[in-house]
A = this chain, B = another copy of it.
Amino acid sequence: MVINTKLSFAFLLFSLFFLSVTFSLAVANVDPELQLCKSQCRTYHEFSHRQRRECEQKCEDYHGQNHGEGEGEGGGGSRIVLNSNTDPEKQLQQCQKQCERQREQQKEQCRRQCQDTYERQRGEEGKGGGGQSGEKDEQGRQQEQGQEQEQEQGQEQQEQNPYVFQDQHYTASLETNEGRIKILQRFHQRSRLLRGLKNYRFVYLEANPQTFVLPAHLDAEAVVYVASGRGTLSLVSQGKRESFNIKQGDIVRIRAGTTIYMINRDKNKKLRIAKLLQPVALPDEFQPFYGPAGENPQSFYRAFSEELLSSALKVEQDRVQRVIKQQNKGVIVKASEQQIQALSQREESGMFPFPFGSTESKRVFNLLSKEPSISNRYGRLHEADANEFQQLQDMDIAVSYSNITKGSMEGPFFNTRATKIAVVVKGEGYMEMACPHVSQQQQGQGQSTGEQRREQQQQSASPHYQRLSSPLKRGMLFVVPAGHPLIVVAGNNRNLEIVCFDVNAENNRRESLAGDKNIVNALEKEAKELAFSIPAREVDEVFAKQNEWWFFPGPRGGHAYA
C-alpha cells in the first residue's frame, strides 16, 4: 500500500484523457487540498514574490489543473479506458484484458495499474465509497509532470527539505509480473542531516494476489510491518520452519540470516509490507541471499564449483545443476489455488498469542488490535515498544501507528531520544516541522562547500528554526529527528494513517507542546514571565486553554479563531 503513487498517477493521467477534461477542471477548482497547498506558499515568510508564485504553480501542477498539457507525454504510451459505475471486480477483469493488447514490455505495468485502481475503488482508502466517488476523488490529484520534471523538483525539494522521501528516492527496484521490491536510498546519502540513520535501510514490498515470494536470507536484522493484505510468512533457521498468517497491522521481527518466504493468500488485494533493516555485515548495506531459486533470481548455490556442490549434496553434478537453473520468473511468482491453500496456516497466530508462551515466544504482534495509548475524536495512537513486544529490544526500535481523523491534527510534539521514520499508509494531509539545521544551511547561501557548511552548522548558539512543510500522500516517507517539534495534519477528505519506526527507542519519551501536560504549563509563574518576557497571565491565556491532548481539531476543523 505504500509507495505506488507515481505509477498510479501515470495511469490515472491516461484515464483522465478519456474522461472529461472539463469535468476534472471543475472539480479541481474547488479542491480544498489545492487551496491548502497554496495557502502554505504564503506562510513561507522568507519567500520572495517570485518564489511564492512558483510555489503556487507547483500546487496547481501537483493537483492536476493543467493536465491538458500533459497529453503529449501520454501520446506514445499505453491507453486504458476505465468504465466507471461498475463493479470493481468486473472493472479489474476488463482492465487486465485491455492490458493484453499492450506491447509486451508495457503489459506488466498496465496490469499493475489495473490492480492499483481496483484497490482504490474497493475503498481501501478508508472512504468506503463506491466507484464513482472514488474516481472523482482521484481526479483532483492525478496529473504528474513526467519523470524528468519530477526528479528536478525532487532535487529542489531535497535542498529545502531533505527529510521527505518519495518515489524518486528509491534507488533499487525489482519488478516482476507479480509484484515488486523497492529499496530506499541510504538516508545519509540524501543528506548529511540524516547521517544519524546511516545504519538503517528501508524496503517496501508489494505482492499481487495469490503469489509466492521466494525464500531468501538477508545480512540484516529486520522489523516488518504489514501495511495491507493477508499472507502467510515462513521463517527457516537451523533446519526448522515456523509459519504463521499475517494481516494488516502485524509486526514481525526477523533475525539476520533467517530464511524467509511468504505468500499473498488474498484473491484480490495486494500484500504490502514495509521493512526497516539494520545491516549486520556492512553498516549501511544489505544483500538478499536466494538459495532455493535458479536463474532468476539466481541461486547462490550456483556460485559454488559443480564438483563441490555435488560432493556436498552427494548427488551427481548434472542433477544438481538441473535443479538450480530452472527458476526464471523472478522473486515473486504466481501460485496456484492449491499451493496457496497448502501454504496457508489454519490459525491466525498474530491474533491469538500462544496460550502458554512467554512474550518472547510470540512471533507476531498486531499493533491495531492493541488498545490505543491515546485516543480521542481527533485521532488515535497505537504503540509497540520492547516492553510490549520483546523482540524489538535488541534493535532498539519502537513501532507506532497514528490514525488522524480527517480535518484533525497530531501534535505539536517531539520525541526526546528517538528519530522517527514515518510512512504514510493511507490518506493524505501535510506536516510541519521546526528544524534549526536547514535554516543554518540556507543562511550559508547555498554556495558553501560541504566542509564550510559543516562549520556553519554550529556557528550560532542561538538557532533559527525553519519551518519544513510537505504535503503527505500514501507511499511517502518522512524522517523526524529527535528533539524536532512536529505537527501532522490530516486532509479534510479522509483520515491520515501513518506507521512510524522509531529508532533509539529506549528511554524515549513523547513530549506534548500543546494541550494538557505541555511543557509551558509546567513552568512556575516567574519562569513564564522571564522566558516569554510578558506577564504570566497572558502566557496562561494562550497555553492553558486547550484541554484535549495530543490529537487536536485541525485548522479547518470547525474552529475559526482567526
Contact = CB atoms under 8 A, between A and B. Distances in A.
Interface stretch (A25-33, A325-333, A346-354): A325-333
Contacts of A165: none
Interface in A150-189: 171-174, 181-183, 186
Contacts of A171: 455, 458-459
Interface stretch (A111-119, A141-149, A251-259, A365-373): A251-259
A124 interface: no
Interface stretch (A96-104, A264-272, A516-524): A516-524
Interface in A460-515: 460-467, 469, 481-485, 487, 489, 504, 507-509, 511-515
B315 A434 contact: no
A312 B530 contact: no
Contacts of A518: 239
Nearest to A432: B304
A11 interface: no
A340 B525 CA distance: 12
Contact of A43 (B291, B306, B339, B545): B306
Contacts of A214: 530-531
Nearest to A205: B461
Contact of A257 (B236, B329, B414): B414
A2 to B, nearest CB: 16
A83 B543 CA distance: 51
B467 A303 contact: yes
Contacts of A545: 313-315
Contact of A561 (B314, B324, B484): B314
Contacts of A543: 313, 323
Contact of A483 (B217, B241, B458): B217
Given A304-B412, A483-B287, A530-B333, A280 B239 contact: no
A550 to B, nearest CB: 10
A234 interface: yes
Candidate in A417, A419, A469, A532 with the most chain B CB atoms within 10 angstroms: A532
Given A304-B412, A305-B555, 11 more contacts: A219-B482, A237-B416, A287-B436, A289-B436, A300-B434, A301-B412, A303-B467, A304-B434, A311-B553, A314-B561, A326-B533
A527 interface: yes
A481 to B, nearest CB: 4
A33 to B, nearest CB: 15
Interface string A295-307: 0111011111111
A532 B326 contact: yes
| SS class, residues of chain A in contact with chain B | mixed
A248 B489 CA distance: 47
A457 interface: yes
Give this chain's copy count.
Answer: 3
A487 B308 contact: yes
A7 to B, nearest CB: 17
Given A300-B434, A465-B298, A289 B414 contact: yes
B303 A465 contact: yes
Contacts of A255: 416-417, 507
Contacts of A562: 306-307, 310, 316-318
B555 A519 contact: no
A555 B314 CA distance: 10
A326 B466 CA distance: 19
Interface stretch (A54-62, A71-79, A356-364, A534-542): A534-542
A257 B312 contact: no
21 contacts: A186-B458, A212-B527, A219-B481, A238-B517, A256-B416, A256-B482, A256-B483, A257-B415, A257-B483, A288-B463, A289-B484, A292-B523, A304-B432, A305-B469, A312-B513, A313-B542, A319-B541, A324-B532, A327-B532, A338-B526, A339-B529
A49 interface: no
A235 B423 CA distance: 33
